[in-house]
Amino acid sequence: MDTLDKIKALREELTLHNYNYYVLDAPVISDLEFDMKLKELQALEEKHPEYFDVDSPTQRVGGAITKNFNTVVHEYRMYSLDNSYSKEELLEWEKRVQKGLGTDKVEYTCELKYDGASISITYEGGKLSKAVTRGDGFQGDEVTTNIRTIRSVPLTLKGEYPDKFEIRGEIILPLEGFAKMNQELIEIGETPYANPRNTASGSLKLQDSAEVAKRPLDCLLYSLVGNLPIKTQFEGLEKARQWGFKVPKEARLAKNMDEVIAFIEYWDTHRHDLPYETDGVVVKVNDIHQQEELGYTAKSPRWAIAYKFKAERVVTKLNFISYQVGRTGAITPVANLEPVQLAGTTVKRASLHNADQIEKLDVRVGDEVFVEKGGEIIPKIIAVDFTKRNPDSMPTEYIHKCPECLTELVRKEGEAQHYCPNFYGCPPQIIGRVQHYISRKAMDIEGLGGETVALLYNSGLIHNYADLYDLKKEQVIPLERMADKSAENLVNGIKKSKQVPFERVLYALGIRYVGETVAKKLARHYRNIDSLAKASLMDLILVDEIGEKIAQSVVDFFANEENLILIERLKGYGVQLEMGEETNTTVSDRLSGKTFVVSGVFSKFSRDELKKAIEANGGKVGSSISSKTDYVVAGDNMGPAKLEKANQLGIAIISEDDFIEMIG
């Protein structure tokens, strides 16, 4: 078997395993075996760039940056659905359908209504060519690079399929994945996401597709659009499933409205068994010809309706209000409730968000309150039962002092939350910052978790993240649940963190508004902590994608004497506070503002050397060709897909010698 055949065989095998795992939920090999095969394919593709294929399983990790999402007009409009909230309304709709068709012989397809972000995906020649958000129904944003990272979306189709068609569906976040994302945020002191739907929708507009790839998004498909060889909606679902799409198996064909209502009643009680959120049932006339006869109103199809489940709601007593202090000092009021069953779980607490929300609801201790868990994962109080209020109750007075350090709270103009300004002396803020410092995406200190950080602080062993580097094994062993080996792993993990690169250290410092992406940009622009510390507000604003809010936060951080002392201590311990020498090799700015893509095999440079030469002369290296690409540096055996795309976009293709001449 030659190399190309080996690559093709691995791609086919991995695509099948991907389909088994993400679409059928029936894997036949272990995660480890899959990863080993994927690494084998990656190695072969890197060695043979001439065999590049945008639809290879290795391309699912993303990496393309989209600063502005193009607005695309839908070839077939995306309509909204009329809603119904009772069986009576459903029966009224059935009468309108039968009257419009002149017959009572109507079958229906019943599908669960998924609570996510609507998407329309176009396939041409069996390959994914375009993905567009719903937008206003007439036009939406093209998010193709982000959709390609979702494992359950097929890049190439199976079997016999039309040459071109669209398929509609919902991008969702399964509840387990959503809970895991939130737990990671909570562990580093960040605010958790409110609900899966908004998080899924927001994920589609992330600029870095590699970040989208990290999120456990799923795609459930339910509607084929175009000139298609199908006669019914239910047949369309089966066809889509055969072509490789993830079509939920819960859909049922109902011969009459009694069967529709039975389907609704079943799922109204069993929806909590599903791995994702559903807020109702969509009922569609099954026959495509009948659908065409019924047509559309200005907003909705006459042949479909959504039956919305009632939001889960219970009444319970508000026992007291507590206040939590976050890593940034933000105060969050929490309602502590009489335990009550809601949506299959026992609820004891609910968020009250901020002082404005408490005042708006006029919620008071001792009230009987309505608690809802509709689209929200975190239960919320939506109203007070005023008929049961004690006439002697007094309005809730929001706290004026921090519940942890008793510092007077502040509330900035235009902001909803109160803050504790005692940033360097308030225990939860100190603990939260250290927890952020050691977190996986920051210093990733092995053997040290959030609970241990709290133990270290409460035992007086640390007061900031620099203190971690002074810890001795014998100091740690006496801590609760800390054995000899655990203490050794902790100290070794801290020592190992001195090798973490500057861009992650910068993120770990916990500068407000400086997330992973911003930290990378600042690290690569300023190269070391001293240059960044000296930067003025205007200097920072001029850095690509750094706005005034971020710039001001950076200036404020380095204006603080305590922060400067901490940084000097970190330098002394050997923490990486500058870019490594291999990347700090700026030669000139001849290529400033230009973006290059490197493709093929070269005689005078290796591909990595070429990329370093581009960056050393002020240029940027792109991972894929787009309208933002200025030049393609082409070697022997340049990937045909890249060549075709470069020609389509009119991008200059230069040789290795042309590049050498360009940099002088």
| Residues designated catalytic | 113
How many of the other CB atoms lie within 10 Å of CB of 64? 21
Half-sphere exposure of 365 (CA within 13 A, CB side): 11
Strands 127-133 vs 117-124: parallel, antiparallel or unpaired: antiparallel
Supply the DSSP symbol for 62.
-
Backbone angles phi, psi at 247, to 5 degrees: -110, 115
Class of residue 395 by CB neighbours under 10 A (exposed 0-12, middle 13-18, buried 19+): exposed
Q: Cα separation of 359 and 353, whole Å?
A: 11
Q: List all residues 6 or more positions away from 278 whose beta carbon is below 8 Å from its beta carbon.
A: 112, 113, 114, 115, 267, 271, 309
Amino acid (one-letter) located at 471 = L
- Contact of 256 with 283, CB cutoff 8 Å: no
Q: Cα separation of 572 and 576, whole Å?
A: 10
Half-sphere exposure of 568 (CA within 13 A, CB side): 7
Cα→Cα distances 614→46, 477, 622, 629, 654, Å: 19, 50, 11, 13, 13
Q: 351 pairs with which residues across the strands?
A: 334, 380
- Contact of 275 with 305, CB cutoff 8 Å: no
The helix (H) or strand (E) run that includes residue 111 is: strand 108-114
How many of the other CB atoms lie within 10 Å of CB of 351? 18
Q: Which of 493, 508, 79, 124 is nearest to 306 (CA)?
A: 79
∠ CA 632-64-623 to the nearest 5 degrees? 35
- Contact of 384 with 358, CB cutoff 8 Å: no
- Contact of 429 with 403, CB cutoff 8 Å: no
Q: Cα separation of 426 and 327, whole Å?
A: 10
Q: Which long-range contacts (CB under 8 A, 24 or more apart) does 128-135 make?
A: 128/55, 128/153, 128/154, 128/155, 128/156, 130/72, 132/72, 132/74, 133/204, 134/78, 135/71, 135/74, 135/78
Amino acid (one-letter) located at 51 = Y
CB burial of 101-127 (b: ≥16 within 10 Å; e: otherwise) equals beeeebbbbbbbbbbbbbbbbbbeebe
Q: Cα separation of 322 and 623, whole Å?
A: 49
Q: Cα separation of 627 and 318, whole Å?
A: 57
Half-sphere exposure of 515 (CA within 13 A, CB side): 7
First-to-last alpha carbon distance for the chain, in angstroms, is 44
Q: Distance from CA of residue 617 to its chain's centroid?
A: 34
- Report DSSP letters for 342-365, one per residue: ETTEEEEEEE--SHHHHHHHT--T
Class of residue 344 by CB neighbours under 10 A (exposed 0-12, middle 13-18, buried 19+): exposed
